[in-house]
C-alpha cells in the first residue's frame, strides 16, 4: 500500500495538533512530511520535496487572504497533481464565487469532526487525486445543480438569514410562492421543511450540513427572479 505524503499548514496550534493526530491514526496510508503555521513557510516546504496532499487554512499567523491568492497561484502552476483540502470558515462562499481559471481547493469547515476527516482522507487514498476531485464535483452536482434557479435563489437567501416576508417583498412575489419554492428545494435536498433547520439555537444547520460536505450555496442579495 502506497503511503501518501502530507503537508499541514494551520495557525491554530490545538487544531493543528488534532489534524496531525488524525493523520497519525492512519500510518499505513499517510506520512506527514511538513507542518507549519504560515503560508510563507509552506511555500518553501513544498519546494523541497514531493507530496500528495495539502491540508491548510486559508492563511497563516500574521497573514491575510492576499497571501492566500499569491500562494494559490503558484500552487496551481506547480502542484496541480496535489489534492488540496482547505478550511475556509467564513470565506467559502466568497472564494467559490470568484471568477477564476485556477482550480479552487476543496473547501471544508472546521466543524468537520475527526471521524468525518478520517473518512475523507481514506476516500482520497482509495480513489486517487483525479477520481477524488471528480467525486467531489459529482457530490456538488447532486446537491445543488438539480435545484431550479428560483429554488436556489430562495434557499440561498433563506439559508443566509433573510426573512421570508422580506424576501417575498424584495422579489415581488407572495409569501406562498416563496414558501412553495422553499419546500420544493428542501425536499430535493432531502431536508425537513421545518424552519428550525435554518436557525436553531443560533446555528444555521442547513449551511453547516452543506458546507461540511464542501458545498457552498451561493447567495446574491440582488439575485434576479424571472417569472
Would residue 221 count as lying in a domain? no
Does residue 137 share a domain with residue 58? yes
pLDDT tens digits, one per residue of 63-85: 888 888 889 888 888 898 999 99
Distance from C-alpha of 152 to C-alpha of 150, rounded to nearest angstrom: 5
Instruction: Give the H/E segment covering residue 36.
Output: strand 30-36
Counting the structural domains of the chain, the total is 2
Does residue 116 share a domain with residue 105? yes
Can you give the pLDDT at residue 22? 93
Does residue 138 share a domain with residue 189? no
| Global confidence as pTM | 0.63
Does residue 171 share a domain with residue 102? no
Asked whether the beta carbons of 120 and 99 are under 8 A apart, the reply is no
Does residue 127 share a domain with residue 22? yes
Q: What is the pLDDT along the chain (227 residues), one digit of tens a residue?
A: 689 999 999 999 999 999 999 999 999 999 999 999 999 999 999 988 899 999 999 889 898 888 888 898 888 888 989 999 998 765 655 555 443 444 668 888 777 788 888 888 988 998 899 888 877 766 665 555 566 777 777 877 777 777 889 888 888 889 999 889 888 877 766 665 545 455 444 455 555 555 554 555 555 544 555 54
Would residue 174 count as lying in a domain? yes
Does residue 112 share a domain with residue 193? no
Chain-centroid distance of CA 93 in Å reads 8
CATH of the domain at 186: 1.10.10
Does residue 124 share a domain with residue 18? yes
Does residue 172 share a domain with residue 118? no
Q: What secondary structure, in 3-state letters, does 83-117 show?
A: EEEEECCCCHHHHHCCCCCCCCCEEECCCCCHHHH
Would residue 67 count as lying in a domain? yes
3-state secondary structure of 56: strand
Domain boundary among 109, 128, 143: 143
CATH of the domain at 88: 3.40.50.2300
Asked whether the beta carbons of 154 and 178 are under 8 A apart, the reply is yes
Q: Where in the sequence is the domain holding 103, given as residue range(s)? A: 4-143
Copy the grid coordinates of residue 10.
Answer: 494551520
3-state secondary structure of 79: coil
Domain boundary among 118, 143, 168: 143
Amino acid at each position: 500500500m502506497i503511503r501518501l505524503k502530507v503537508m499541514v499548514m494551520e495557525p491554530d496550534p490545538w487544531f493543528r495538533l488534532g489534524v496531525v493526530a488524525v493523520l497519525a491514526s492512519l500510518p499505513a496510508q499517510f506520512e506527514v512530511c511538513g507542518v507549519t503555521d504560515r503560508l510563507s513557510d509552506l511555500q518553501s516546504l513544498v519546494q523541497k520535496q514531493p507530496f500528495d496532499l495539502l491540508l491548510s487554512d486559508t492563511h497563516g499567523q500574521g497573514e491575510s487572504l492576499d497571501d492566500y491568492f499569491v500562494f494559490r497561484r503558484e500552487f496551481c502552476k506547480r502542484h496541480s497533481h496535489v489534492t488540496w483540502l482547505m478550511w475556509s470558515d467564513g470565506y467559502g462562499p466568497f472564494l467559490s464565487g470568484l471568477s477564476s481559471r485556477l482550480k479552487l481547493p476543496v473547501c471544508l469547515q472546521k466543524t468537520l469532526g475527526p471521524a468525518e476527516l478520517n473518512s475523507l482522507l481514506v476516500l482520497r487514498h482509495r480513489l486517487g487525486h483525479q477520481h477524488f476531485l471528480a467525486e467531489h464535483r459529482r457530490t456538488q452536482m447532486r446537491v445543488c445543480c438539480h435545484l431550479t434557479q428560483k429554488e436556489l435563489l430562495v434557499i440561498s437567501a433563506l439559508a443566509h438569514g433573510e426573512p421570508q416576508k422580506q424576501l417575498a417583498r424584495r422579489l415581488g412575489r407572495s409569501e406562498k410562492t416563496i414558501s412553495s419554492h422553499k419546500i420544493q428545494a428542501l425536499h430535493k435536498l432531502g431536508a425537513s421543511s421545518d424552519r428550525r433547520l435554518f436557525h436553531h439555537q443560533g446555528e444555521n444547520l442547513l449551511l453547516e450540513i452543506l458546507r461540511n460536505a464542501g458545498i457552498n450555496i451561493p447567495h446574491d442579495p440582488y439575485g434576479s427572479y424571472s417569472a
